[in-house]
Copies of this chain bind each other. A is one copy, B any other.
């Protein structure tokens, strides 16, 4: 699915990531853990090419991302669903329209998918907030809407950055269940989180591997957590 080969990244002078050699196979389920400021978000942004590695190569489905033109990158992003840490919404359109945004920009018919949208909203308990605007949502509601938007195109790879930071444990488990379900359907999932309870809860349901980010590089974590 995604492959890092000697990839490194620095913001200006400060190295954030280096010597990344890593492969996410299709259908895998990964957690990415590490202290605040370690580079989890940076790593995810490398995966969907919001950032380009300062050296080395990132490949998506075997193709080097850096060599592709801008339209190809747009297409790549339709195959990747991202839950951003600071949920990115358009504040002037409704929550429902925001969630359907990936459909709209891909030129798909939003009306035809209304049923999918409704059942997804049900799952994240947002059906009564669908006509609100993003600034009218509570922090947790925003995060759930972001999850819904990430999966609406049923992408092959789902990247979730701290998707449960602002929500209570019951809702966190619901979202985890959703992601596990998608993984069972063959999608790859990568969750960056600092919540070890979530990692433990997932391990009982799916064969999840844990990556630890430390000192600018990413290593599989020891089995025990």
* Chain A residues within 8 Å of B, Cβ to Cβ: 11, 34-37, 40-41, 85-86, 136, 138-141, 144, 161-162, 165-171, 194, 196-197
One of B34, B162, B168 near A35 (C-beta < 8 A): B168
Q: Are B168 and A139 in contact (CB under 8 A)?
A: no
Residues on the B chain within 8 Å of A35, using CB: 140, 168, 170-171
Q: Are A139 and B169 in contact (CB under 8 A)?
A: no
Name the CB-closest residue of B to A126.
B37
One of B136, B140, B165, B170 near A11 (C-beta < 8 A): B136
Of A11, A34, A36, which is in contact with the most chain B CB atoms at under 10 Å from its CB?
A36
Q: Are A138 and B36 in contact (CB under 8 A)?
A: yes
Minimal beta-carbon separation of A49 from chain B (angstroms): 19
Residues on the B chain within 8 Å of A144, using CB: 36
- Report the Cα distance A171→B166, complex, angstroms: 16
Q: Are B136 and A162 in contact (CB under 8 A)?
A: no
Q: Which 9 pairs, one residue from A and one from B, show the smallest C-beta to C-beta distance?
A: A36-B140, A165-B165, A168-B194, A85-B139, A37-B138, A36-B167, A165-B166, A35-B168, A37-B141
Residues on the B chain within 8 Å of A197, using CB: 197
Residues on the B chain within 8 Å of A161, using CB: 139
Q: Are B194 and A41 in contact (CB under 8 A)?
A: no
Given the known A-B contacts A41-B139, A85-B139, A162-B139, are A36 and B169 also in contact in the complex, defined by CB atoms under 8 Å? no
Residues on the B chain within 8 Å of A168, using CB: 34-36, 194
Q: Are B162 and A37 in contact (CB under 8 A)?
A: no
Q: Are A167 and B138 in contact (CB under 8 A)?
A: no
- Report the Cα distance A41→B140, complex, angstroms: 11
Q: Are A166 and B85 in contact (CB under 8 A)?
A: yes
- Report the Cα distance A116→B38, complex, angstroms: 27
**Would you list 24 pairs from A and B whose C-beta atoms are within 8 A, ordered by A residue?**
A35-B140, A35-B171, A36-B138, A36-B139, A36-B140, A36-B141, A36-B144, A36-B166, A36-B167, A36-B171, A40-B138, A85-B139, A85-B166, A86-B86, A86-B139, A139-B161, A139-B165, A140-B194, A162-B165, A162-B166, A167-B194, A168-B194, A169-B196, A197-B197
- Report the Cα distance A55→B169, complex, angstroms: 33
